[in-house]
Structure 1
Amino acid sequence: MQLHHGLGRTARVLVLGYLLSLFAMALADGPVGDHVNELHGHLDEYNTEVTWLIDQVEAIVTTYEKKGRKHAKPERLVDHWEAVKFHSAIESNDIALYANTWQALFGVREAIEAEQSIEQVRTAQRELEQVLWQSLGAVKVAARYQDQGLLQEVSTRKAVMPSRVLIEIKQQLDRVVAKYAERLPEEAVAIIEETYATRFETVEDALKALDRDLVEDLESDFHVRLPRAISAGESVDAIRRVVDTMHGNLDQARSLLKSTER
């Protein structure tokens, strides 16, 4: 596909980044609806969803401030995020921002679950709001390029054997450790993001029906624990320990899935 000659360097970089994320998503079968191929027609809906998400976060934080952690139910943050179409719109446009959104969500959740001060929780809340608006901006840019015919259609496919996908995920996580050991942390994080988007999400819904808590643990591993350990520059052994924990959870998930494939 040829980009229009009139595009400047910045625009070409944005389009290239978008196409790279689409290439990754073309292998996935996560919760990606037809709306991602008609972005412009859904921008108002995405905007409404972002506003709704921010309101839901505010309600949870306010409840925490007034009544404490138990009443706030911070685990609902993930449910709210996964309930909106915007979730897949940003996922299919910018994997890095998608990962940042997850990390920001868990930042608020973990702050409440750790019963941190309301000031600390509010700081995490502001960071989440910032990344949500930033993500909406990225989707608007993508919609403009999509309208100009510069972007290919997003397609998805289903994995034949979900339990096999989990084996592939374990192999990819081993690659993460290898890249980190080679002192290539950015490549390691890129593998994490792509593995989540193109593999884990293909089996996520099936796993949720079997063990929702296990899925939430794995999501936290993908979006928070492992990327955070890498960004903190922890030792290779420390990264391996996180991956080993993920391997254990993935083995448990595989056993659950295999029981449904018989």
Structure 2
Amino acid sequence: MQSVVKKLIVRKYRNAGLIAGLCTLLATGQAAANGAVGDHVNHLQDHLGQYTEEVNWLVGKFDGVVDTYEEKGQKATHSDSMIEFWEEVDFHSAIETNYVPVYAMIWQGIYGVKQAIDAGAPVETVRAEQAKLDQALWQALGAVKLAAQYQQKGLLAKIQTTEAEPTTAPETLEDIKHRLDRVVAKYAEKLPDAATTIVHDTYLQRFEGVEGALIEQDANLVEDLEKDFNVTLPKALSSNASVDDVRQVVVAMQAKLDKAKALLIEAEKDRKDVF
């Protein structure tokens, strides 16, 4: 699955006591893990009932897997079916194209349950992982509902069939941040090689294009980010780190990118003031 999301709006969203930054949307074409993204993602409001049914179905299916584990044991439990259930529903691409961080959380939750089952963990441990997965699913549904409201108001661009390139340095830095979110998602999907490829491509195709302007503002910041792209994050991806550990590296990088963006915006403002 390859999917690159250009996000145009960022909003803050709270659900179930967790802070989730909602999302950013959408000027790129993409393919989801369960195939090409359907046009339903351009008409979220019309499909909210379907998405709600799918989330309820997923919760029930996942609960059934855990029930089987509790009642019949590990050998009778097909943990791989959880991935098949998730990739079967349209809601999969609805959340993937709207909010990558919680999309990654869902994958993390699925593997949390699956790995606990595969390791023969106590049922209480599996149930605890299942609770986190359920929470991520409901949070995702809330995020899609909010995205549907913005889409209805014309605040979100439709998914197109070609990728729109960022045209300014600040836009490029935002695009880098969103690509880093996808790194976490790929890692959560147990695709570390794909995640590493995104890191390398993002550095070469995006960050190197703004390095010159950034060096003029803060050379040390550029050096830190170069190390993050070429050492810190790739090392985390190749060392079997937890998804949370990888996410922490990405969050720290995104904070540095926010600082870089602010510096470039201020520098441009100063240039305009001079002229």
Structure 2 length as normaliser, TM-score? 0.56
Q: Is residue 111 of structure 2 the alignment partner of residue 95 of structure 1? A: no
Q: CA RMSD of the aligned region, Å?
A: 3.9
Q: Is residue 115 of structure 2 the alignment partner of residue 110 of structure 1? A: yes
Query: What is the distance in 1 between the residues matched to 2:225 and 2:120?
Result: 33
- Aligned with residue 227 of structure 2, among 148, 168, 182: 182
Q: Identity rate of aligned residues, in percent?
A: 37
Q: Which runs of 5+ in 1 are unaligned?
A: 4-8, 159-166, 193-220, 234-262
Change (3 A) 1:49 1:10: closer
- Aligned with residue 246 of structure 2, among 230, 253, 256: 230
Deviation at 1:121, TM superposition (A): 0.2
1:8-157 aligned within 5 A = 17-19=23-25, 22-23=26-27, 26-30=28-32, 31-156=36-161
Query: What is the distance in 2 between the residues matched to 1:136 and 1:16?
Result: 12
Query: What is the distance in 2 between the residues matched to 1:168 and 1:125?
Result: 26
Letter paired with 2:198: Q
Query: What is the distance in 1 between the residues matched to 2:113 and 2:91?
Result: 19
Residue in structure 1 matched with residue 198 of structure 2 by the alignment: 172
Letter paired with 2:141: L
Deviation at 1:154, TM superposition (A): 1.1
Change (3 A) 1:59 1:15: closer
Change (3 A) 1:168 1:99: closer
Query: What is the distance in 2 between the residues matched to 1:170 and 1:231?
Result: 14
Deviation at 1:28, TM superposition (A): 2.1
Deviation at 1:69, TM superposition (A): 1.3
Query: What is the distance in 2 between the residues matched to 1:123 and 1:155?
Result: 39
Change (3 A) 1:53 1:228: same
Deviation at 1:29, TM superposition (A): 2.6
Is this contact kept in 2: 1:177–1:188, CA < 8 A?
Answer: no
Q: Secondary structure at the match of 1:99?
A: helix
Query: What is the distance in 2 between the residues matched to 1:140 and 1:100?
Result: 18
Change (3 A) 1:148 1:188: farther
Change (3 A) 1:182 1:170: closer
Query: What is the distance in 2 between the residues matched to 1:82 and 1:182?
Result: 35
Deviation at 1:71, TM superposition (A): 1.0
Is this contact kept in 1: 2:203–2:229, CA < 8 A?
Answer: no
Letter paired with 2:149: R
Query: What is the distance in 2 between the residues matched to 1:51 and 1:117?
Result: 25
Structure 1 length as normaliser, TM-score? 0.58
Is this contact kept in 2: 1:29–1:156, CA < 8 A?
Answer: no
Structure with greater strand percent: 2
Letter paired with 2:243: P
Is this contact kept in 2: 1:104–1:127, CA < 8 A?
Answer: yes
Change (3 A) 1:142 1:71: same
Q: Secondary structure at the match of 1:90?
A: helix
Change (3 A) 1:227 1:104: same
Change (3 A) 1:122 1:10: closer
Change (3 A) 1:168 1:57: closer
Q: Which runs of 5+ in 2 are unaligned?
A: 1-7, 14-19, 164-192, 205-223, 250-275
Is this contact kept in 2: 1:97–1:135, CA < 8 A?
Answer: yes
- With CA pairs under 8 Å and 6+ residues apart, which has the higher RCO, 1 or 2? 1
Query: What is the distance in 1 between the residues matched to 2:228 and 2:194?
Result: 23
